[in-house]
Chains A and B, each alone.
Chain A
Amino acid sequence: MGDSQYSFSLTTFSPSGKLVQIEHALTAVGSGQTSLGIKAANGVVIATEKKLPSILVDETSVQKIQCLTPNIGVVYSGMGPDFRVLVRKSRKQAEQYHRLYKEPIPVTQLVRETAAVMQEFTQSGGVRPFGVSLLVAGYDDNGPQLYQLDPSGSYFSWKASAMGKNVSNAKTFLEKRYTDDMELDDAVHTAILTLKEGFEGQISGKNIEIGIIGTDKKFWQAPL
């Protein structure tokens, strides 16, 4: 992955032992639009704000929530172009797994491989880290799962999480509302309410996106 002339990493340790480029990448994520995910007992929901730079933009041409496989979806906060790169790489990895093992890739495996790509870009020569955090929602033989991946390449499984501008308020709201035995419908409702909390302006079907996966293991986007 090292680039010509740049056989050295741009992400290096500071005297205090921090990788400042990764911290800056997290700042970039923190100034992105809010997105969140909630894991219910029988499914997962992910949602995001879709604020477009102008009313002249055709909102049907923008899709922030993408599916990586028929049973895994993903949303991001941060830099859209970086997100597209990760989606493309993840989809390819999922396909390669399927070709080799003739079964759909488990969510944890896909998350691990995507995180490995993100980590590569924090260590390879001549590249910068990705300026996105991802929320991966999937349903496989291990049930419903929600993972958050950070620019450093670290990932954790969450019951509910939020990222982006309004992260602290959103997380507080989710902590209050979350219950372990939540149903998927409740989770969708809570997700919309959480988005509404920090929303500037009028929330409507045109400026948010919702992705849902239930026991049927098919990831779909709610047409609002």
Chain B
Amino acid sequence: MSRGSGGGYDRHITIFSPEGRLFQVEYAFKAVKAAGITSIGVRGKYSVCVVTQKKVPDKLLDQTSVTHLFPITKFLGLLATGMTADARTLVQQARNEAAEFRFRYGYEMPVDVLSKWIADKSQVYTQHAYMRPLGVVAMVLGIDEEKGPQLYKCDPAGHFYGHKATSAGSKEQEAINFLEKKMKNDPAFTYEETVQTAISALQSVLQEDFKATEIEVGVVKADNPVFRVMSTEEIDEHLTAISERD
């Protein structure tokens, strides 16, 4: 006879519920949405672009310290959506791991390898009771030497997939619907198209036009595979191009 909800602990630590679910993992996903930020990533033919909202809750805050976009190595970027503190832990560990990889094996850590490492670490938190899952969805971007531009998304459950385009955060589903329509016929976006698709997706889903200071944009391009956070001037150019295009 089933003992019901496992003594009630299935909501507190990551053990199975009677329906075979992990509530703590599901709650971690909710925490990502609760942060109130939406992020979008788009992979083009020769570049990858990620965009996220930059909400500075207090005018007295130093805006440059409010960021969700982190370089992991010179060539790999990570966009963390969700709880900022958890994001910083993840970034710190990822930076360490990527540096050790480079030292140990003599070549740069590829995007999919780093994503797998992040996802495997997240899986450990879903199986061991002593650590809760992190409330962060990580989008990792970079240019792979063999496969070209890559965009991976890792979630608190330990899943990771490569994406042609994806989204995370509060308006995740709406953004994915928008992107599915845009990417339906497997378009091969140029760099400008990639950036503009990402930014206009965010604008459409949040139904507001942004100023350059309200969003963060990160890119990698095949001809210069360094991960770069765009300056406000560059963002402004793209925003103008989008509004002129419409």
Contact B162 A27 (CB under 8 A): no
A129 near B16: Cβ-Cβ < 8 Å: yes
CB distance from A86 to the nearest CB of B (A): 11
Q: B20, B122, B123, B184: which has the most chain A beta carbons within 10 Å?
A: B20
Residue of B nearest to A81 (CB): B158
A16 touching B1 in the complex, CB below 8 Å, given contacts A10-B129, A57-B161, A81-B119: yes
Residues of B within 8 A of A10 (CB): 9, 13, 15, 129
Whole-angstrom distance from the CB of B106 to the nearest CB of chain A?
22
- Which residues of chain B (1-33) have a CB below 8 Å from chain A? 1-3, 6, 9, 13-22
> Once bound together, how far apart are the Cα atoms of A130 and B122, in whole Å?
14
* B68 in contact (CB, < 8 A): no
A57 to B161, CA, bound (A): 7
Contact B112 A61 (CB under 8 A): yes
With both chains docked as a complex, state the minimum distance between the C-beta of A106 and any C-beta of chain B, in angstroms. Answer: 28
Q: Which residues of chain A are near B112, meaning CB under 8 Å? A: 61
Known contacts A15-B3, A85-B120, A121-B127; decide if A128 and B158 are in contact (CB<8 Å). no
Report the minimal beta-carbon distance from B145 to chain A, rounded to whole angstroms. 16
* 0/1 string, A122-142, CB within 8 A of B gives 1: 000011111100000000000
Contact at A6–B129, with CB atoms within 8 Å?
yes
B155-204, CB < 8 A from A? 157-159, 161-166, 176, 179-180, 183-184
Most buried by B among A16, A56, A58, A130: A56
Q: Determine if B176 and A56 form an interchain contact, defined as CB atoms under 8 angstroms apart.
A: yes
Within 8 A of B (CB), among A90-142: 121, 126-131
Residue pair A23, B2 in contact (C-beta under 8 Å): yes
A60 CA / B164 CA spacing, docked (Å) = 11
Selected contact of A128 from candidates B129, B161, B163, B179, CB within 8 Å: B129
CA separation between A5 and B14, bound complex, in Å? Answer: 15
The CB with the most chain A CB atoms within 10 A, among B123, B126, B127, B130, is that of B127
Task: Let me know if A4 is at the binding interface, CB within 8 A.
Answer: yes
Distance of A18 Cα from B18 Cα, bound (Å): 13
B16→A25 contact, CB < 8 A: yes
Q: Which of B18, B126, B129, B180 contacts A3 (CB 8 A)?
A: B129
CA distance A26 to B18 in the complex (A): 10
CB proximity to A under 8 Å, residues B112-159:
112, 116, 119-120, 122-124, 126-130, 152, 157-159
Is there contact, CB below 8 Å, between B184 and A55? Answer: yes
Q: Whose C-beta in chain A lies nearest to the C-beta of B43?
A: A58
In whole angstroms, what is the CA distance A60 to B180 when docked? Answer: 18
CB-contacts of B80-128 with A (<8 A):
112, 116, 119-120, 122-124, 126-128
Instruction: Categorize the interface residue count of chain B.
Output: 35 or more
The listed residue (A24, A53, A55) touching B19 by CB distance below 8 A is A24
Are the CB atoms of A20 and B2 closer together than 8 Å? Answer: yes
**A14 at interface by CB-CB < 8 Å:** yes
Bound: A24/B184 CA distance, A: 38
Pairwise interchain contact A55-B129, C-beta atoms closer than 8 A: no
Q: How many angstroms between the C-alpha atoms of A130 and B22 in the bound complex? A: 12
On whether the beta carbons of B128 and A58 are closer than 8 Å, the reply is no
User: How many angstroms between the C-alpha atoms of A3 and B180 in the bound complex?
Assistant: 43
Asked if A54 is at the interface (CB within 8 A of a chain B CB), the reply is yes
Contact partner of A56 among B13, B14, B164, CB < 8 A?
A: B164
Among B16, B43, B164, B166, the residue within 8 A (CB) of A24 is B16
Inter-chain CA distance A25–B15, complex, in Å, is 9
Q: Which of A28-36, A153-161, A171-179 contacts B (4 or more CB under 8 A)?
A: A28-36
Most chain A beta-carbon neighbours within 10 Å: one of B18, B120, B164:
B164
| A80 CA / B122 CA spacing, docked (Å) | 12
Other contacts beyond A28-B21, A80-B159, A81-B119: 16, CB < 8 A: A4-B130, A10-B15, A14-B3, A16-B1, A21-B16, A23-B2, A24-B16, A28-B20, A56-B164, A56-B183, A61-B112, A79-B157, A82-B127, A121-B127, A126-B129, A131-B16
Interchain Cβ contacts under 8 Å between A and B, 5 examples: A20-B6, A27-B20, A81-B159, A128-B15, A128-B129
User: Which 10 A-B pairs give the minimum distances between C-beta atoms?
Assistant: A81-B158, A61-B162, A28-B20, A27-B20, A24-B16, A81-B123, A58-B162, A126-B129, A3-B130, A14-B3
Q: Which B residues lie at the A interface, using CB under 8 A? A: 1-3, 6, 9, 13-22, 43, 112, 116, 119-120, 122-124, 126-130, 152, 157-159, 161-166, 176, 179-180, 183-184
